[in-house]
Amino acid sequence: MINLSSNARQILKARYLRNTDVTETPTDLFERVARHIASVENENKDLWFDRFYKVMRNLEFLPNSPTLMNAGLPNGQLSACFVLPVEDNLNAIFTTLKNAALIHHNGGGTGYNFSKIRPKDDFISSSEGSSAGPVSFMKIYDTATEYVKQAGKRRGANMGILNINHSDIEEFISSKSDFKSLQNFNISVGITNDFMYALENDIDWQLVNPRTNKVSKTLSAKKLWDSIIEQALKTGDPGLIFLDTINQNNPLNKLGEIQSTNPCGEVPLFNYESCNLGSINLKKMVVQNSTNIEIDWKKLERTITTAIRILDNVISCNYFVLSQIQEITLANRKIGLGVMGWAELLIMLEIPYASNKAVELAETVMKFIHEKSYNASQLLAKKRGCFPSWKQSSFAPHMLLRNATCNSIAPTGSISIIADTSYAIEPLYALAYKRTGILENTTQMEINATFVDKMKSLGLWSEQLRSEIIEKGSIQHVKNIPTHLKNLFKTSLEISWKYHLLHQRAFQRYTDNAVSKTINLPNTTTFEEVSEIYKTAWKYKLKGITIYRNGSRNNQILQLCGYN
Ligand code: UDP
């Protein structure tokens, strides 16, 4: 029997285990996935099957949900992330909508940059009418997403980007302010360095009609920035995507510019490109010595090497719904190995998230993962050949690689529940919370198990503490808890945004794709603070930034006890 939490069993049963021609158990599921991924090995298939199966069943590494759901099934699409082009004509707009529907139906999420679309009320020569504009087309995409449930298991997710100099950028910025529109979209403003310089120097900024290339409006950069901040404070949207930072770090910049990311921002991709992700459960990468718990670097290295091989194999045994997707994905062979359970690892090592020691360790761990991922990809290149577009990449001629990118920090929204650990690199959201929506129509109270274990081991656990945690969601106000434990168990909203950003920067430094992170903020956060967060994100050379102010939407997945 695999050691799974009750949440993991529920989510697997509701969404992952096959229940038509066969009735799968979790063991069957991991066997199905491992067998399919090992099928592309030329030699020693059984040995590879065994290795792949073990890292998954031990919850040391999990591939992204579509791989767990679809591996081994006919036409099983295994990737989570796609970017599709949006050109300025009806045929192209609706072709992309159809393609997005096919991708969503098979479990993937799609990102698009709508900046090529002419603005609202612009001229259309063929009909002598006026155009709908990018935001209207996004609403059509949104409605379609609503009705194409992903294989009945999850709704499609979308990223919609509009560049900061598009004529309709003001409408775009407030397009989610009614809390009803574009519910299936994350929206981000495509920011350029030029805009940030205009903002720093408090000068005017020009909006341009992409059809005519003529200036449609001039306004102060600060005014535009303030409208972004106001909306982000109110609703959490829009986030920002830093286009120049993305392209300065694009190893395939000879092939063109990247204009979009996937829905949660962790993978910048060319049009039609896809990427498959997987995450190492850091909580499992420890060893108990006689006196303390340490990171097991050998085990971590072994797990990275296996994980990179799994992700590279996934590309080879993947099913692609479009020939364009197949072509560019096979040419660049991008994969994204990331982490989950970072906060729980820190707790096990007794290092508070909000400390310089934690930020330093974040760099050390991600640097290690990055180096070992590249080593593994290099070894694969020697055996299987470099990714076909390698000669045009910045790695040529000296550094052989099998994959144009190796690392992404995905949100791990579902797989961290299966692995029973904290999301990606996020701090614990709360010590007690009601989780709604993730598991079929349930609302349940949960207390973080790592916290309970720690308290029990110190003889501090009691019924009274349990009630206080449920009431407050935190231990900061509980008497008789030593300060070092209060620091260790600070939750997301009790940690200054400065540390949230420092962690994101530390991981981004050694992540060739991007880092998905939400800067969770208390309800009392001010306009000035959000403005500083967004500016700091750019200065830190992050590829994107997303914030969420607690309580600003009424459909939060996790509700904090004591905060509402
Ligand atoms: N994704 C999606 N729909 C969802 C959740 C995720 O299409 O409901 C896609 C999206 O591209 C996201 C990626 O999957 O960026 C990875 O998300 P996450 O790590 O949360 O996925 P998991 O593997 O945990 O399901």
Ligand 1 neighbour 34 (Cβ under 6 A): no
Q: Report d(CA 210, CA 114) in Å as an integer.
A: 11
Query: Residue whose CA is closest, atom 19 of ligand 1?
Result: 412
Q: Which of 29, 65, 262 to mutate to test the pocket of ligand 1 (most atoms within 8 A of CB)?
A: 65
- Residue 480 is part of which domain span? 431-490
Residues 292 and 239 in one domain: no
Residues 404 and 440 in one domain: no
* Helices 297-316 and 26-38: angle between axes, nearest 10 degrees: 70
Residues 317 and 185 in one domain: no
Ligand 1 neighbour 409 (Cβ under 6 A): no
Neighbours of 424 (CB within 10 A): 26
Residues 251 and 346 in one domain: no
Burial class (CB in 10 A: 0-12, 13-18, 19+), 347: buried
Ligand 1 neighbour 336 (Cβ under 6 A): no
Ligand 1 neighbour 340 (Cβ under 6 A): no
Q: Report d(CA 489, CA 241) in Å as an integer.
A: 31
Q: Quick check: is 519 in a domain?
A: no
pLDDT tens across 63-96, in order?
999 999 999 999 999 999 999 999 999 999 999 9
- The domain boundary residue, chosen from 474, 490, 506: 490
The token pair at 11 is 């989510």
326 to each of 41, 252, 271, 444, 548, how far by Cα in Å? Answer: 20, 17, 12, 42, 35
Residues 63 and 153 in one domain: no
CA-based nearest residue to 93, from 130, 50, 138: 138
Distance of CA 366 to the CA centre of its chain: 16
pLDDT tens across 250-309, in order?
999 999 999 999 999 999 999 999 999 999 999 999 999 988 999 999 999 999 999 999
Is residue 443 scored above 70 in pLDDT? no
Query: Residue whose CA is closest, atom 13 of ligand 1?
Result: 80
Q: Report d(CA 451, CA 185) in Å as an integer.
A: 34
Provide ipTM, 2 decimals: 0.97
Neighbours of 146 (CB within 10 A): 12
Tell me, in angstroms, the distance from the centre of ligand 1 to residue 431's CA: 24
Distance of CA 206 to the CA centre of its chain: 32
Q: What is the amino acid identity at position 325?
A: I
Question: Mean pLDDT over residues 452-462, rounded?
Answer: 92
For 274, phi and psi rounded to 5 degrees? -125, 165
Q: Quick check: is 548 in a domain?
A: no
* Helices 90-105 and 134-147: angle between axes, nearest 10 degrees: 30
Q: Report d(CA 184, CA 260) in Å as an integer.
A: 17
Q: List beta partners, residue 41.
A: none
**Atom of ligand 1 minimally distant from the CA of 155:** 8
Residues 95 and 222 in one domain: yes
Tell me, in angstroms, the distance from the centre of ligand 1 to residue 461's CA: 36
Q: Report d(CA 329, CA 327) in Å as an integer.
A: 6
What's the mean pLDDT when you consider all of the chain? 94
- H/E stretch holding 184: none
Ligand 1 neighbour 414 (Cβ under 6 A): yes
Q: Quick check: is 268 in a domain?
A: no
Residues 105 and 197 in one domain: yes
CA-based nearest residue to 429, from 557, 334, 338, 545: 557
Q: Quick check: is 376 in a domain?
A: yes
Tell me, in angstroms, the distance from the centre of ligand 1 to residue 300's CA: 24
Q: Report d(CA 139, CA 183) in Å as an integer.
A: 9
Ligand 1 neighbour 338 (Cβ under 6 A): no
Query: Residue whose CA is closest, atom 5 of ligand 1?
Result: 157
Ligand 1 neighbour 413 (Cβ under 6 A): yes
First-to-final CA distance of the chain: 39
Question: Mean pLDDT over residues 501-509, rounded?
Answer: 98
Burial 86-116, CB ≥16 within 10 A → b, else e: bebeeeebeebbebbbebbbbbbbbbbbbbb
Domain holding 237: CATH number?
A: 3.20.70.20
Is residue 438 scored above 80 in pLDDT? no
Tell me, in angstroms, the distance from the centre of ligand 1 to residue 59's CA: 18
Predicted confidence at residue 433, as pLDDT, reads 80
Least-confidence region, from 44-58, 141-155, 298-312, 498-512: 141-155
Neighbours of 468 (CB within 10 A): 20
Residue at token pair 């197949």: 326
Tell me, in angstroms, the distance from the centre of ligand 1 to residue 412's CA: 7
Residues 102 and 214 in one domain: yes
Ligand 1 neighbour 262 (Cβ under 6 A): yes
Residues 91 and 210 in one domain: yes
Structural contact between residues 236 and 219, judged by C-beta atoms closer than 8 angstroms:
no
Structural contact between residues 298 and 306, judged by C-beta atoms closer than 8 angstroms:
no
Is residue 563 scored above 60 in pLDDT? no
CA-based nearest residue to 270, from 280, 256, 283, 286: 256
Predicted confidence at residue 356, as pLDDT, reads 98
Q: Report d(CA 344, CA 90) in Å as an integer.
A: 49
Tell me, in angstroms, the distance from the centre of ligand 1 to residue 554's CA: 21
Half-sphere exposure of 22 toward its Cβ, with a 13 Å CA cutoff? 11
For 145, phi and psi rounded to 5 degrees? -60, -40
Predicted confidence at residue 441, as pLDDT, reads 59
Residues assigned a catalytic role: 262, 264, 266
388 to each of 60, 334, 406, 412, 417, how far by Cα in Å? Answer: 31, 11, 15, 29, 36
Ligand 1 neighbour 77 (Cβ under 6 A): no
Q: Quick check: is 352 in a domain?
A: yes
**Atom of ligand 1 minimally distant from the CA of 63:** 23
Q: Report d(CA 112, CA 90) in Å as an integer.
A: 16
Predicted confidence at residue 193, as pLDDT, reads 98
Contacts of 523 (CB under 8 A, 6+ apart): 549, 550, 551, 552, 563
Q: Quick check: is 533 in a domain?
A: no
Residues 153 and 219 in one domain: yes
Ligand 1 neighbour 65 (Cβ under 6 A): yes
Q: Which of 29, 64, 78 to mutate to test the pocket of ligand 1 (most atoms within 8 A of CB)?
A: 64
Tell me, in angstroms, the distance from the centre of ligand 1 to residue 157's CA: 8
Q: Quick check: is 553 in a domain?
A: no
- Rounded CA Rg of the chain: 23
* Number of helical H runs and strand E runs in the chain: 20, 23
Structural contact between residues 260 and 161, judged by C-beta atoms closer than 8 angstroms:
yes
- The domain boundary residue, chosen from 203, 234, 261: 261
**Atom of ligand 1 minimally distant from the CA of 109:** 7
Predicted confidence at residue 562, as pLDDT, reads 42
Question: Mean pLDDT over residues 348-376, rounded?
Answer: 98
Predicted confidence at residue 560, as pLDDT, reads 47
Residues 246 and 296 in one domain: no
pLDDT tens across 315-333, in order?
999 999 999 999 999 999 9
The alpha carbon dihedral of 248, 249, 254, 260 has a sign of: negative
Distance of CA 86 to the CA centre of its chain: 22
User: Cis ω on the peptide bond leading into residue 411 (within 30° of 0)?
Assistant: no
Tell me, in angstroms, the distance from the centre of ligand 1 to residue 108's CA: 8
pLDDT tens across 515-558, in order?
999 999 999 999 999 999 999 999 999 999 999 999 998 765 55
When divided into structural domains, the chain yields a total of 3
Residues 142 and 237 in one domain: yes
- The domain boundary residue, chosen from 415, 439, 465: 415
Q: List beta partners, residue 190.
A: 163, 241
pTM of the complete model: 0.96
Ligand 1 neighbour 153 (Cβ under 6 A): no
Q: List beta partners, residue 309.
A: none
Q: Quick check: is 512 in a domain?
A: no
